[in-house]
Amino acid sequence: MTCPKLPSQRPERILLWVAVLLVAMVACRRGARAPAPSAVEPAGSQEAHAVQRVLYYPAGEDALLAECPVFMSSSGQVQADMSDLLKRYLVGPPGSGQALPFPERCALRAVFLVDGQAVVDLTGPVRSGGGSSTETSRVYGIVQTLQSNFPEVKSVRILVDGQEVDTLMGHLDLSHPLVQEPRLLIRRARSAPGDAR
Amino acid sequence: MRVSRIVTLLVLCTALAAQAVDVKGPRGSFTLKDETHNGRAGFCAEQLASALKGTLSRDEVSKYPVLSLNGHRILLSTASALASVDGKIVRLQGAPSQKGGCLWLPEDFLSSVLPQVLSGPITLTNKPVAPSPVEPKAGPTAEPKAGGAGKSEPVTLEAVVASDSVRITLLGGGASRAEVSQVAKEVAVTLTDSVFSGGVPEVGKGIVGSVAVESGGKRLRITLGPGFKRLESAKLKNPDRLVLLFQGEGQRLAPVPPAPAASPPGATAAPAAALTPPPAEAPKKTAAFDTVVLDPGHGGSDTGAISAEGMQEKNLTLVLAVKTAALLEKEGLKVVLTRNTDLQVPLTQRTAIANYNRADLLVSIHLNASPVPSARGTETYYMSREATDLWSTQLAAKENAAGPEAGVSPSEGGLDMVLWEMAQTSVLVESAALAEIVQQEFNTLLGINDRGVRQAPFAVLEGAQMPAVLVEVAFLSNPTEAKRLADPSFQDQVASTLVKSILNFKARYDLPQASQPTP
């Protein structure tokens, strides 16, 4: 599967892997010289580490969602990681020139998890534009991204400026929580030949 | 030694699995080999088609399996436990499934669908296929041989309620040995060596009046309502059960609500629009397929998408809906518009207008937009199953948690939820078929590659009690398509395409119903 911006993806990914490798080598060297962990250091401390996440962006004319893997640091805390992930999501897929699912001034106000339901509070012109295609891409890009990366997330509720909304653009019902829709994903069989994964 | 034990076990398992069902009906009798699938009894549709000299094929548009038997058309779906028999929805106990070269159907298909297809009562009798020294004589009244195990296993009750039938299933070891008798307006089921356990399911009133367990749990008494026409029963195995199918008309789970139109539970009632003053009584149906509701998307302050030239979606959808309505009326159909002026109508109210008018179809007309300017073509949506399943579950949990303190008894709330869920489920198969028809017609009109039929939880489709689709005709964000949409002759073509789709759907689903005798 590919990021929506396929041509610029492979060099980026190679650079990313090289960077990860270098970081790992440095960490190993430092680890070899470092003293043994002290007894007072809490076991399993929340040290940030790199993890691979998958973002879902609308791709091409049909606007189905395509996977876009990225490496991010993780604190190990779901809420903080969800927040980091969504902030990264709103920046858009790697590569320039790609149309963003959300307008640039959209931002995340908050995200939290309650009984398996992730509540995502957005702000900015999230309701601008129109069309089922745009609305579906925006909403399900977030739903799919959260549910794919965090098994704890069983459903997603979207708020705008802290308020419950019935719909973003007059189509999707947002008065209820949503779950991922597999039919809105690009099927693997349709991935581009240059897929690096 | 170990090998011989395994072989013995395999032979035993094979013998146990090799069951068959004798079917006796108005067109003679035949035997179907039982095909157990995921622990459930069933049979191959091919076998049934062969026995009744029917055919099993694929629907040209939706690609769903179609069983043609005795002049009746049965549309099946491997994704749903619903089947459409001559356009009328029947719920099966499980979804059909492809099992090798066989289209597997659950066994209750025989009791719930076959009587309609054969135009008369049928008798089902289980029997083992493998030769057995104690094989009972199979016949219309022969009871299956009682299994040695589970003689004292309690019997539980399940009910599936539809407007024209109530199916009560007695489950458990003692069920297949129960005695059924009918005296006047009362049916009694007496257990010979077991007792009923668990609750009595709520079935409402109409065909069946009441269901009660008596005589210390040994007897089930079912009173028949004014809508009752006939009773069929079948004793089935794997698992042991007795199925009672009460047929008739007018079964209702809950009292008639005072509200004129149904909407999903929890949906806030919207104020009536000027277009839809609440009359005292809901419109009555006069034919099998006579009313179409067209919903011009957006309106009022909700402009919808806007093209680069400033064309607003709300204005164009209204033009397209009005043109489509005029053509449909020429075809003799009654058309209701959810708005006929630049008015903001709440989404829940648009659905309510369709439900209230007892529409046969709801078509919501929209124009698309995308951040990708080259995006083009038609998208047709119908309601998402994933979302409705989630919402039903959450609603049930909420209502159960609320309890009597909330002013609504759990059973009442549960019934509302069941009704709503049933309404949603029952239209899904035909909404999918309608969506396929619309999509194909527009692909032809626009001469483009198929963007595909899609599913999403759109508010206007939620709670619709009829086949409902939302059509995004073309992209206002695409300069070429926007230019075409502004052209009155292209608007006429869009209207004609919608009419063609609707008439195509009507022809496929209306005619079998219309040919049925009026009760």
Write out pLDDT tens, residues A159-180.
Answer: 999 999 999 999 999 988 999 9
Contact B191, B155 (CB under 8 A): yes
Residues of A in contact with B304 (CB under 8 A): 130-131, 169-170
- Establish if A132 touches chain B: CB-CB under 8 angstroms: yes
The Cβ of residue B327 has, within 10 Å, a number of other Cβ atoms equal to: 18
Give tens-digit pLDDT for A66-99: 889 999 999 989 999 999 999 999 998 877 566 6
Could you tell me the two tokens for B482? Answer: 């926007």
Interior angle at CA A100, CA A96 and CA A106, nearest 5: 120
Within a domain: residue A61?
yes
- Establish if A97 touches chain B: CB-CB under 8 angstroms: no
Q: Give Cα separations from B108 to B62, B147, B212 (angstroms).
A: 24, 21, 24
Domain of residue A105 covers 9-33+47-184
Within a domain: residue A126?
yes
**Of B68-72, B412-416, B502-506, where does mean pLDDT reach its minimum?**
B412-416
Within a domain: residue A81?
yes
Q: CA nearest A171 in B: which residue?
A: B458
Q: CA nearest A61 in B: which residue?
A: B375
The answer to whether B375 contacts A63, with C-beta atoms less than 8 Å apart, is yes
Residues of B in contact with A101 (CB under 8 A): 371
Within a domain: residue A197?
no
Q: What is residue B238's predicted lDDT score, i.e. its pLDDT?
A: 57
Contact B103, B46 (CB under 8 A): yes
Instruction: Please name the amino acid found at residue B110.
Output: L
Q: Give Cα separations from A146 to A151, A156, A197 (angstroms).
A: 8, 8, 21
Q: Give Cα separations from B9 to A15, A152, B5, B133, B437 (angstroms).
A: 60, 43, 6, 19, 51
Nearest to A181 among B375, B379, B386 (CB): B386
- Establish if A114 touches chain B: CB-CB under 8 angstroms: no
Instruction: Say how far apart CA B285 and CA B331 lie, in whole Å.
Output: 17
Question: What strands, in cross-sheet order, belong to the sheet with B123-128?
Answer: B28-33, B19-25, B123-128, B228-236, B241-248, B165-171, B156-162
Within a domain: residue A77?
yes
Within a domain: residue A1?
no
Question: Does residue B66 register a pLDDT over 60?
Answer: yes
Element (H, E) at B17: helix B2-17
Nearest to A61 among B302, B374, B472 (CB): B374
Q: What is residue B400's predicted lDDT score, i.e. its pLDDT?
A: 53
Q: Average pLDDT of B207-225?
A: 88
Q: Which residue matches tokens 């998958």?
A: A54
Q: Work out whether strand A117-123 and strand B379-382 pair parallel, antiparallel, or are unpaired.
A: unpaired
Within a domain: residue A147?
yes
The answer to whether A170 contacts B475, with C-beta atoms less than 8 Å apart, is no
Q: Sketch out chain B's domains with CATH numbers.
A: 16-130 (3.30.457.10), 149-253 (2.60.40.3470), 291-514 (3.40.630.40)
Torsion of CA B130, B132, B136, B139, to 10 degrees: 30
**DSSP H helical ranges for B331-363:** 347-356
**Of A109-123, B3-17, B67-81, B263-277, where does mean pLDDT reach its minimum?**
B263-277
Q: What are phi and psi of B419, to 5 degrees?
A: -60, -45
Question: Does residue A183 register a pLDDT over 50?
Answer: yes
Percent of chain A with pLDDT over 90: 45
Which pLDDT band holds residue B350 (cuts at 50, 70, 90)?
very high
When the pLDDT of each residue in chain B is averaged and rounded to a whole number, the result is 75
Residues of B in contact with A171 (CB under 8 A): 366, 456, 458-460, 470
Question: Does residue A155 register a pLDDT over 90?
Answer: yes
Give tens-digit pLDDT for B278-329: 344 555 555 578 899 999 999 999 999 999 999 999 999 999 999 999 999 9
Give tens-digit pLDDT for B478-499: 999 999 999 999 999 999 999 9
Within a domain: residue A157?
yes
Domain count, chain A: 1
Strands (E), B107-257: 123-128, 156-162, 165-171, 179-183, 186-190, 208-214, 219-224, 228-236, 241-248
